[in-house]
Amino acid sequence: MSRDGHVAVVDIGGEWTLPHAGRLERIVADVERTAAPSARIHLDKLQSLDTVGAWLLQRLIRRLENHGAAITVADVSPEHQVLLQRMVLPPARQTLSRPYVSALHALVERIGRSSIDIVDEAHELVSFLGVTTIALLRAVLQPRRLRFIALASHVERVGLNALPIVGLLSFLIGVVLAYQGADQLRAFGAEIYSVNLLGVSVLREIGVLLTAILVAGRSGSAFTAEIGTMKVNEEIDAMKTLGLDIMDVLVLPRLLAVVIALPLLTFFADLAALVGGAIMSFVVLGISLAQFLEQLQSFVNQSTFWVGFIKAPFFAVLIGLVGCYEGLKVAGGAESVGRMTTKAVVESIFLVIVADAAFSIMFSWLGY
């Protein structure tokens, strides 16, 4: 090592390899103690270099720079340059103090971010509704595009296979409503009006709402899981490569199946709930089946039934759209499938309840 004015000149030569690591370590330590504003390292006399020697050279350069010296490396052969570049040391880790954020600021930020995500999600869902509408109109004009076998299969899975659980829960709901209604009205001597309460609540609200929630949790989640798994396995990409329209093959059969099955399930749920209420009324109040039907007919008219029944197709569209849309959004692996399936169920139930509230306000405003 020599000096050229204020510049320390370091001539590196010989073999910088593993067998000479101990001697090279001492040389590096001596050079590191050099106090100079700048240093120039020459490597023209370097005979051989391996990863150990390259690491020592890079450590020497880094420590000289940490001491404030400006380093210049000269006369590097191409093969040595490649090895030196590979052994560049990462920058020293710096511990940064986390900026203080108040709890109120963090809460407002999360609310704002969630609001933006909800708006974006609503915009994408409306766009998907538009794409689905176009595909449906195209299928109406060209019926051969619709997969009738797939449609029949999904109607069976959504509707026929759901009859036991829908019937059982609706029956039990009817039993509970009849018992609770009779228990509350007994204080006024008006137990007979529990039949009116049962008929209105089941036909207008409970029947269709309970059925829609069951279908959303049972079939809507299945749509998301099926389509999401197909996307993870790249089956959807294969369909697109074959020229198949995803809307015609995957979305329309499922959507139409829900639209067909949900009104029928709603009618079955209404009957099951009324049967359960009739049995409980007979057991608790001693009201015969003839009296039950007479009281029900005297208070419940066709408009009461249609107010609840007309909601079913709209709820079905919401459930089918959300289930298929979230399935097509799956990206990654199985974790994404589970997350989107959960999201589809939550969104479907939320939208169904919001739509039910909107229908209730509208029918109340119209006088039904």
Task: Assign residue 14 the CATH number of its domain.
Answer: 3.30.750.24
Does the pLDDT at position 230 exceed 60?
yes
Q: Which of 86, 116, 150 is the last residue of a domain?
A: 86
Parallel, antiparallel or unpaired: strands 2-4 and 7-16? antiparallel
Is 85 exposed, middle or buried (CB count within 10 Å of its CB: 0-12, 13-18, 19+)?
A: exposed
Is the domain of 144 the same as that of 49?
no
What's the pLDDT tens digit per position in 270-304? 999 999 999 988 888 888 888 888 888 888 888 88
Q: Is residue 74 part of a domain?
A: yes
Q: How many domains does the chain have?
A: 2
User: How many whole angstroms separate alpha carbon 17 and alpha carbon 36?
Assistant: 27
Q: Which of 86, 121, 148 is the last residue of a domain?
A: 86
- Average pLDDT (220-249) is 89
Q: What was the pLDDT predicted at 184?
A: 79
Q: Is residue 112 part of a domain?
A: no
Task: Indicate the pLDDT class of residue 336, thresholds 50, 70 and 90.
Answer: confident
Does the pLDDT at position 62 exceed 80?
no
Q: What was the pLDDT predicted at 363?
A: 87
Task: Indicate the pLDDT class of residue 210, thresholds 50, 70 and 90.
Answer: very high
What tokens does 76 get? 């590097």
Is the domain of 200 the same as that of 268?
yes
Is the domain of 186 the same as that of 300?
yes
Q: Which of 52, 86, 120 is the last residue of a domain?
A: 86
Provide the 10 A C-beta neighbour count for residue 341.
Answer: 23
Q: What was the pLDDT predicted at 294?
A: 86
Is the domain of 59 the same as that of 204?
no
Is the domain of 289 the same as that of 215?
yes
Q: What was the pLDDT predicted at 93?
A: 57
Is the domain of 190 the same as that of 74?
no
Q: Is residue 290 part of a domain?
A: yes
- Average pLDDT (63-80) is 69
* Residues in the chain, total: 368
244: Cβ–Cβ under 8 A, 6 or more apart, which residues? none
Is the domain of 224 the same as that of 342?
yes
Does the pLDDT at position 254 exceed 90?
yes
Q: Is residue 319 part of a domain?
A: yes
Is the domain of 341 the same as that of 239?
yes
Q: Is residue 196 part of a domain?
A: yes
Provide the 10 A C-beta neighbour count for residue 217.
Answer: 16
Is the domain of 81 the same as that of 150?
no
Burial 6-41 (b: 16+ CB within 10 A, else e): eebbbebeeebbeebeeebeebeeebeeeebeebbb
Under DSSP, is residue 74 helix (H, G, I), strand (E, B) or coil? strand
Rank 18-32, 34-48, 130-144 by mean pLDDT and report only the highest: 130-144
**220 DSSP 8-state letter:** I
Task: Indicate the pLDDT class of residue 256, thresholds 50, 70 and 90.
Answer: very high
**pTM for the structure as a whole:** 0.70
Is the domain of 58 the same as that of 148?
no
Q: Is residue 230 part of a domain?
A: yes
Q: Is residue 117 part of a domain?
A: no
Question: Which structural domain, as residue segments, surrounds residue 26?
Answer: 2-86
Is the domain of 233 the same as that of 174?
yes
Is the domain of 170 the same as that of 266?
yes
Does the pLDDT at position 52 exceed 70?
yes
Q: Is residue 247 part of a domain?
A: yes
User: How many whole angstroms separate alpha carbon 41 and alpha carbon 80?
Assistant: 14
